Structure 1
Amino acid sequence: MSGTVRTVLGEVPVARLGVVDAHDHLFLRSPALPGEELAELPPAQAELAAFREAGGGAVVQWTPRGMGRRLADVVAASRATGVHVVAATGLHQAVHYEPAFLERTMGRLAELFVQDLTTAPVRAGLIKVASGFHGLDAHARHTMAAAAEAHHATGAPVAVHLELGTGALDVLDLLCGALGVPSPSVVLGHLGRSPDIRVQLAAARSGAFLAFDGPSRRHHATDWRLFDQLTALVEAGHAGKILLGGDTTTAGARREGPGPAFLVGDLMPRVEREFGADVARAVFVENPGRAFGRW
């Protein structure tokens, strides 16, 4: 594969990414999750080291602006472990911020996103935004408009937190319809949390990438439905649109596991047994390169 991915250590050829955890968090904090911060370097570095030991090559961190990205620590962990890390700019739902932060930033989001993607000391490689539950509120529409503007200026992909997996088609109507973001530049997250295969198939037909994530005690309900959903997508010819990630968002989830290494040691062999080596390589190696790369 040609093309490059922008990591926290610079541009990396897509072919060098290896096995990718397509949605995770090394660091994260939110007033909506008090006491559950991911804010320490040693545990984050240990997660990356275990991922590397299991055979992983790259992690895409979806933590957006104002939620404790700790980019200097991300750089340190990437250097220490040899795992490539892609960082995010963007903005989450309003509940994850203090009002003063939103007051300072909402009027210049596109400018800030573009800075993070082009001139910041540690540059982001994607734009993270979020929908609401079964719909798009004014905050979501505003942040997505800014994300689309930043995409058009930089070509960066737009990754979307779907609240409880809902609202995928509304998001696509806005981002790819009204705002003109090409659907292959959109990654829809958390689809497994609303296992509506008809919606998933429609989203895949649009050309967007579909991220299934969250194998943890906190999101256990997604685990046992995962392979039924993957089967429907693979059988419909959409293996090239599937991404898998861990999405560890809290200290409790990190303690409980299983962590990013589980993707390599457990899920990847299961995908290969179920669908064959070509599909496993697509899901864990080729699709992330196409979703987050620049061509």
Structure 2
Amino acid sequence: MTTARIRTIRGDIPADDFGFCHSHEHAFLAGGHPATLSPVLRIDDYDATVAELREFRAAGGRAMVDCQPLGCGRMERELFLASTETEVHLVASTGFHKLAMYPEGHWIRTTSEERLKDIFVHELTEGMYTGTDTREPEAAIDTNDGIAKLAVDAKAGIIKTAVDADRMADPDKRWFAAAAAASLATGAPIVCHTETHEEAIWLADYYMTKGVEPRKIILCHLDRTTERPETHRELARLGCYLEYDTIGRFKYHSDEEEAELLLRMLDWGLADRILLSLDTTRARLKHYGGDIGWTYLLDRFLPMLRDRYGVADADIHRWMVANPAEAFAFI
């Protein structure tokens, strides 16, 4: 038994109680600027999401990490209510996404490093702000127009960050510095959207240089290409977690190619660094008219790993239960 605890949207729970976990999802995403980039980036039907969560739980799922940070479509109240109604543990995100997810003039583009750090820490330790798509967190606190100060006193449990080509080219890295400082101040893990191997290497190195322990760094989406597995090996050997979610996403590659990547990581003795999820959009959720749904790992992919590739139940348990309990814990 461990004394580590995970900060879910309904409160802290023992890490041992977290259960079968999807490590990178988007349960809700409000209509707004992100949906102007792509219509699939709108997941705002409460009943549809609850129906998805109920099916996930009935299939054996117990937890999800919601990776939509503040200011770009996060739906705090709905996350809390859906978690309460379905009894699925949901972990909410503070932090930031790619700046393309925010319109010109959005407060997050101009806020200072120190203020960003304070906002992230507040959401992790006091409660999440509401209304941040259109107003600064201070305004959400100070208004007298009926907007609540916090989302039912619910707290974020991770710091979401995102790097892409624009962020790499921009010498201003205050968002990343603020995330590192907030992690050091609270013990919160940092979940990192990446789009290339080079970005993942840079971001892991950046956070470690700032003093963040590798076990607090979760690098996402490296499995969008199954090339250069040696890069995965080296990042995992540093102690970072690799979150794979290009499963059932055939525009990138087949599930069989995903399985081969996982087998290679097993052969290298790195099963304890792997997390799995689906990173679904509206187009892939059944109750939004999509074709995958949150039961895909349980119904299709994990049985394939067992039956066709001989992956042991112990390794699947590690990826879906034991590793998330460690990766998302405040220690």
TM-score exceeds 0.5? yes
Query: Quick check: 126-135 or 224-233, which moved more?
Result: 126-135
Matched residue type, 2:296: F
Query: Quick check: 143-152 or 208-217, which moved more?
Result: 208-217
SS at match of 1:100: coil
Matched residue type, 1:90: G
The answer for unaligned runs of 5 or more in structure 2 is 128-152
SS at match of 1:240: helix
Aligned to 1:39: 44
Aligned to 1:78: 83
Q: For the Cα contact (< 8 Å) 1:239–1:279, is it kept in 2? A: yes
The answer for unaligned runs of 5 or more in structure 1 is none
Q: For the Cα contact (< 8 Å) 1:22–1:60, is it kept in 2? A: yes
Matched residue type, 1:101: H
Does residue 267 (structure 1) correspond to residue 301 (structure 2)? The answer is yes
Which of 113, 117, 135 is matched with 2:120 structurally?
113
Q: For the Cα contact (< 8 Å) 1:204–1:241, is it kept in 2? A: yes
Q: Within 2, Cα distance between the matches of 1:146 and 1:103? A: 12
Distance 1:104 1:242, change over 3 A: closer
Distance 1:166 1:215, change over 3 A: farther
TM-score normalised by length of structure 1: 0.93
Provide the identity percentage: 32
Does residue 187 (structure 1) correspond to residue 188 (structure 2)? The answer is no
Q: Within 2, Cα distance between the matches of 1:182 and 1:290? A: 13
Which of 234, 248, 255 is matched with 2:280 structurally?
248
Matched residue type, 1:14: A
Q: Within 1, Cα distance between the matches of 2:39 and 2:58? A: 29
What is the CA distance between 1:94 and its match in structure 2? 0.9
Higher Cα radius of gyration = 2
Q: Within 2, Cα distance between the matches of 1:47 and 1:145? A: 36
Aligned to 2:132: none
The count of residues paired between Structure 1 and Structure 2 equals 293
Q: Within 2, Cα distance between the matches of 1:73 and 1:180? A: 34
Distance 1:74 1:33, change over 3 A: same
Alignment of 1:57-72 (within 5 A): 57-72=62-77
What is the CA distance between 1:269 and its match in structure 2? 2.6
What is the CA distance between 1:221 and its match in structure 2? 2.1
Does residue 12 (structure 1) correspond to residue 13 (structure 2)? The answer is yes
SS at match of 2:237: helix
Q: For the Cα contact (< 8 Å) 2:306–2:312, is it kept in 1? A: yes
Q: Within 2, Cα distance between the matches of 1:21 and 1:103? A: 28
Does residue 157 (structure 1) correspond to residue 161 (structure 2)? The answer is no
TM-score normalised by length of structure 2: 0.83
